[in-house]
Amino acid sequence: MTRSSDSMTIIETEAQSTFTQFNIESPGEFFYSINKDFYKDLYNEKSPVLGNVNCDGIALINHQGQPYVLLIELKSNLDTDKISEAFQQEIRSFLKLASSLNICNGYDISEFQIRGVIACHPFKTEDAKTKCLHNLLWEKNLGKKDARFKYRMVTEQQITAKFANCAWFIPSDAFSDDIRNHEFKVSLVFGDKYEDASCSIKLEEIL
């Protein structure tokens, strides 16, 4: 992850990845990036709550007086299971970060807005999108826990919910009260074309 006073860029380095770069632009503001090595090994990989999964990048930014935590994950295809996986990576990465910040004097989670971004290729065709939505409706009818989340992400592309209501994969008693009732907004961002390996957006689009 690279940063400057005007933008932040997440770069995916895995050889098999086809969507490899995501850029957030905000002229005149500075992104404070948190290296993945800082939070990826904070907890035992066998932890049932946090596990050994991490998002591609985290940054802190103060935008117009409001502090934000940005969590970014890149995916190389629009498989809906990958969208669910990306969301879980972001939630678990945030919990690792939050538990570490708790030891800092003056830290108060209520002062931060939490924003997640899942960036990937768009659907290759409209038929592919239609087939995906049909499959998700079928999953919803079967009662799959993440089906409603995936359907909303594909159709709305932005969801806001309290942690306790959106993190179906973590026991509710694993959250402290201040996190359980805190809101998390996650956005699904597409490249302009299916063939593109990167995309760029303005910060305001995900806030």
Distance CA 102, CA 24 (A): 27
Which tens digit of pLDDT belongs to each residue from 61-111?
999 999 999 999 999 988 888 899 999 899 988 888 887 787 778 888 889
Q: Where exactly are the structural domains of the chain?
A: 2-205
Global pTM? 0.90
Residue 56 Cα distances to 37, 94, 143, 178, 187, angstroms: 10, 12, 30, 25, 15
